[in-house]
């Protein structure tokens, strides 16, 4: 099973967002992996351990910033991430969710194509006039590029357990080999896209469902999506997925045929891996991890440039306005409140009041507050006042 | 060579062809959900400002009474698709239905609730109908919008106001595409007064399910109602919310969170005894998700407050050790908020009526003493 995990780099502290010309400058901020995407990686890992296959992460953003953020995904053996792809191009800056989904969806399709094409190449060679040596050389080349599972080709010493291995040994006819390659190809076409329910920066949760729509339109199929998944299981034979999600006060249980897209709620915890035929899972693994993330630019997506980045965005975001505290907020032991009514007053050309007893004086200039305090017109907002006001 | 995108996207939309404001209504316990009534109020505002009709969109099975309720609460038209195939909240089925309705009737805008279900529908549908999406809006305003980059004036465009990176708000426009697709953050509008006299002027239009019997790669196998929770946060007058801050004192030293729970219980009992106000204890998503061993069975998902938990509208909300992330605050619409947090920058303090910068373990006992010392209400 080909598993594509969408991973976003988000600002570590949303309080320090850097913008130029109202476009978020992601390369000027400290980044971390979106915490919800880590949940999705756990789900990807579960699927890979259950049925084999390969996990490819896909990110969009400046590659120089994303590489260090993604690095820990290689480190831990527990996360079976095989490859990382970073979509990095200034042309993608200023994307709204629609333009982001458009680019990401095209990249997903590219990843899918990249993993199906090797089967087509081999099937063509096996069905054509290529020599066995040529076929084996091609298989080795593709295997070394992490594009074929062990089941199709491997270099297990002393044995020839793969389809191409059996073909080389003469245990399999060309026709039989081609048939088995076609079966394996169809397993790759049942790919799964996983993502977190939303990012901690945009918080829209829109990109998942929209990517499913982009891939659907690109492939001419209807690729279903399911969001907020908390329960996940997969049938290793049919590759059918069973998922449960919570909407409101209901649990909805689903059966999904891959290809599909799923987003995972933070409540998701991977199930225990049951006793499975581990050899079968291993057969579906690929050669190994690629140590370095691959950078893709917008040109290789085969996408319409007019639909990328700011220009491809349907929505326009105005400048952010800071929301202040509600007027009349009282801070314990800090705010000053009037002890009796006070008339309207003008200080340095600005008007304040009139004030009722209990009204907060915090907006007044410091000197005025000091004066009022010395006269006893205002007092600090204390515990007793709080207690009295609280349930009044 | 790159493949060209479908021609539909570059074709310019004739904005004037698109009329009426749609709101996607959801139900709860056989009636329109309270959020949906707020959504009708929001839609009413937009429809009045743009000078068009407000249509309530109802998709489901056995909609008895709901279309009439939508008219009472502000809709001019109800577009009702009542079909057993819509019973299971099948997302793809719903999107297909909405898409076909939109292509046929061309609404000016369609607004969903920013709930789990509303979010995913809005997102995928917006892409499918070649439009943009603004999520989690707290307000709408119809204005002529001038964009300096295109050097173009877009008349009567919906200005969508949404929170942006925590403590800010941003205005968002979808000037060149129709329908304008948006989601509304629950708690941002007050439902209109119910007016049954509106019913006679309103129109309920029954819409046929498009492509009945269509099969999908995703099937709903089961739909289970979660048992009713024994915590009645929704109807409490006072809610005490506990957050991850209860795990530590203000100096960073670890505290046993059960102590905070005991303090909250003491405060709850005091308020119930002395003021006769129904009081409940809730928790932030952070605390619920943390699965703290000491709180096992005490703080459960039934206690979860905020956007993903129970939406509350008490007279008083007391936030203890809650930081107040945007999704948390979105689910709280209290008349007064008392927030206790040692971090002066905590967003909850910004939203508070009464802010206490300090340690809840020091503050709550003092508050209890103070409240005890007040004369009895009689």
Helix residue spans in B276-312 (DSSP H): 285-289
CB B55 within 8 A of CB B20: yes
- Separation in Å, CA of B255 to nearest CA in chain A: 23
**Following CA atoms A171, A172, A173, A178 in sequence, which dihedral angle do they give, to the nearest 10 degrees?**
-160
Please tell me the distance from the alpha carbon of residue A373 to that of residue A360, in angstroms, as a whole number: 12
> Rounded mean pLDDT of B30-45?
95
How does pLDDT run across B250-275, given as a tens digit for each residue? Answer: 888 899 999 999 999 999 999 999 99
Do the chains contact at B123 and A97, CB–CB below 8 Å?
yes
Q: What is the pTM of this model?
A: 0.83
Helix (H, G, I), strand (E, B) or coil at B371: helix
- Separation in Å, CA of A287 to nearest CA in chain B: 31
CB A286 within 8 A of CB A82: yes
- Separation in Å, CA of A213 to nearest CA in chain B: 6
Please tell me the distance from the alpha carbon of residue B312 to that of residue B278, in angstroms, as a whole number: 13
Asked if A210 has any chain B CB less than 8 Å from its own CB, the reply is yes
Do the chains contact at B132 and A17, CB–CB below 8 Å?
no
What part of A 301-320 touches B (C-beta under 8 Å)? 301-304, 306-307, 313-320
Going by pLDDT thresholds of 50, 70 and 90, the confidence category of residue B10 is very low
| Confidence (pLDDT) at B7 | 36
- Separation in Å, CA of B201 to nearest CA in chain A: 33
Q: Say yes or no to pLDDT of B6 above 50.
A: no
Please tell me the distance from the alpha carbon of residue B339 to that of residue B344, in angstroms, as a whole number: 11
DSSP code, position B217? S
- B354: closest chain A residue by CA: A330
Of A301, A316, A323, the CB nearest to B169: A323
Do the chains contact at A267 and B174, CB–CB below 8 Å?
no
Q: Say yes or no to pLDDT of B312 above 90.
A: no
Going by pLDDT thresholds of 50, 70 and 90, the confidence category of residue B226 is confident
Cβ contacts (< 8 Å) between B367 and chain A: which residues? 383, 386-387
Q: Say yes or no to pLDDT of B237 above 50.
A: yes
Asked if A329 has any chain B CB less than 8 Å from its own CB, the reply is yes
Do the chains contact at B338 and A386, CB–CB below 8 Å?
yes
Q: Say yes or no to pLDDT of B4 above 50.
A: no
Cβ contacts (< 8 Å) between A391 and chain B: which residues? 238, 271, 275, 277, 316, 371
Residue of A248, A359, A362 to mutate when probing chain B, most B C-beta within 10 A = A248
How does pLDDT run across B154-174, given as a tens digit for each residue? Answer: 999 999 998 765 556 789 999
How does pLDDT run across A352-386, given as a tens digit for each residue? Answer: 889 999 899 988 899 999 999 999 999 999 999 99
Asked if A268 has any chain B CB less than 8 Å from its own CB, the reply is no
Q: Say yes or no to pLDDT of B92 above 60.
A: yes
> Rounded mean pLDDT of B223-252?
88
First to last CA, chain A: 62
Do the chains contact at A322 and B223, CB–CB below 8 Å?
no
Cβ contacts (< 8 Å) between A255 and chain B: which residues? 218-219, 221
* Residue B110: its H or E element: strand B109-113
More confident residue, B103 or A323: B103
Residue of A307, A315, A360 to mutate when probing chain B, most B C-beta within 10 A = A315
Q: Which residues of chain A have pLDDT under 50?
A: 15-16
| Confidence (pLDDT) at A18 | 55
Looking at this predicted complex, what is its ipTM?
Answer: 0.83
């Amino acid at each position: 099973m080909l598993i594509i995990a969408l991973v976003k780099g988000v600002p570590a502290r949303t309080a320090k967002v850097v913008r130029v010309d109202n476009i978020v400058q992601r390369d000027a901020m400290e980044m971390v992996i979106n915490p919800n995407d880590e949940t999705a990686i756990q789900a990807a890992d579960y699927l890979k351990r259950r049925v084999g296959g390969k996990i490819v992460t896909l990110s969009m953003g400046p590659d120089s910033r994303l590489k260090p953020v993604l690095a820990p995904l290689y480190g831990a053996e527990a996360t079976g991430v095989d490859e990382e792809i970073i979509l990095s191009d200034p042309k993608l800056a200023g994307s709204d969710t629609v333009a982001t989904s458009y680019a990401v969806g095209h990249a997903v399709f590219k990843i899918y194509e990249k993993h199906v094409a090797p089967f087509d190449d081999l099937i063509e060679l096996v069905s054509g006039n290529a020599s066995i040596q040529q076929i084996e050389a091609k298989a080795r080349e593709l295997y070394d590029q992490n594009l074929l599972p062990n089941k199709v080709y491997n270099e297990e010493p002393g044995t020839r357990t793969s389809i191409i291995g059996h073909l080389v040994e003469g245990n399999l006819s060309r026709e039989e080999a081609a048939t088995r390659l076609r079966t394996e190809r169809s397993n790759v076409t049942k790919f799964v896209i996983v993502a977190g329910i939303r990012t901690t920066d945009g918080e829209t949760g829109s990109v998942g469902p929209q990517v499913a729509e982009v891939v659907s339109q690109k492939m001419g199929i209807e690729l279903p999506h399911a969001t907020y998944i908390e329960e996940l299981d997969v049938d290793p034979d049919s590759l059918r997925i069973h998922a449960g999600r919570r909407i409101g006060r209901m649990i909805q249980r689903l059966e999904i045929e891959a290809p599909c897209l799923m987003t995972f709620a933070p409540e998701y915890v991977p199930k225990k891996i049951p006793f499975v035929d581990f050899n079968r899972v291993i057969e579906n693994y690929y050669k190994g991890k690629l140590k370095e993330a691959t950078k893709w630019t917008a040109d290789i997506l085969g996408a319409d440039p007019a639909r990328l980045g700011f220009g491809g965005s349907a929505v326009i975001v105005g400048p952010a306005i800071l929301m202040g505290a509600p007027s009349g907020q009282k801070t314990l032991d800090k705010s000053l409140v009037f002890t009796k009514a006070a008339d309207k007053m003008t200080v340095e050309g600005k008007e304040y009041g009139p004030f009722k007893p209990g009204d907060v004086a915090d907006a007044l200039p410091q000197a005025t507050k000091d004066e009022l305090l010395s006269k006893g017109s205002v007092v600090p907002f204390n515990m007793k006042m709080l207690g009295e006001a609280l349930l009044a | 060579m790159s493949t060209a995108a479908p021609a539909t996207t570059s074709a310019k939309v004739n904005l004037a062809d698109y009329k009426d404001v749609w709101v996607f209504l959801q139900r709860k316990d056989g009636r329109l959900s309270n959020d949906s009534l707020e959504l009708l109020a929001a839609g009413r505002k937009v429809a009045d400002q743009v000078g068009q009709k407000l249509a309530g969109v109802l998709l489901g099975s056995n909609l008895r009474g709901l279309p009439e309720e939508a008219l009472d609460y502000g809709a001019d038209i109800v577009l009702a698709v009542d079909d057993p195939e819509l019973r299971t909240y099948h997302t793809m089925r719903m999107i297909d239905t909405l898409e076909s309705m939109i292509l046929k009737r061309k609404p000016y805008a369609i607004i969903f609730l920013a709930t789990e279900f509303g979010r995913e529908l809005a997102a995928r549908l917006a892409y499918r109908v070649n439009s943009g999406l603004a999520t989690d809006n707290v307000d709408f305003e119809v204005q002529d919008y001038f964009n300096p980059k295109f050097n173009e004036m877009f008349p009567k465009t919906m200005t969508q106001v949404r929170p942006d990176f925590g403590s800010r708000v941003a205005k968002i426009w979808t000037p060149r595409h129709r329908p304008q697709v948006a989601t509304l953050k629950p708690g941002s509008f007050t439902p209109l007064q119910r007016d049954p006299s509106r019913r006679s002027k309103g129109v309920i239009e029954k819409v046929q399910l498009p492509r009945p019997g269509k099969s999908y790669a995703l099937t709903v196998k089961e739909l289970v109602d979660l048992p009713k929770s024994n915590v009645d946060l929704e109807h409490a007058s006072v809610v005490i919310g506990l957050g991850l801050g209860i795990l530590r004192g203000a100096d960073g030293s670890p505290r046993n969170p059960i102590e905070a729970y005991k303090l909250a219980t003491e405060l709850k009992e005091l308020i119930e005894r002395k003021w006769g106000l129904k009081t409940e204890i809730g928790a932030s998503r952070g605390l619920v998700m943390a699965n703290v061993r000491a709180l096992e069975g005490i703080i459960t998902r039934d206690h979860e407050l905020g956007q993903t938990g129970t939406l509350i509208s008490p007279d008083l909300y007391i936030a203890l050790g809650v930081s107040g992330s945007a999704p948390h605050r979105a689910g709280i619409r209290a008349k007064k908020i008392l927030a206790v947090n040692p971090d002066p920058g905590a967003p909850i303090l910004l939203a508070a009526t009464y802010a206490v910068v300090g340690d809840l373990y020091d503050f709550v006992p003092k508050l209890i003493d103070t409240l005890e010392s007040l004369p009895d209400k009689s």
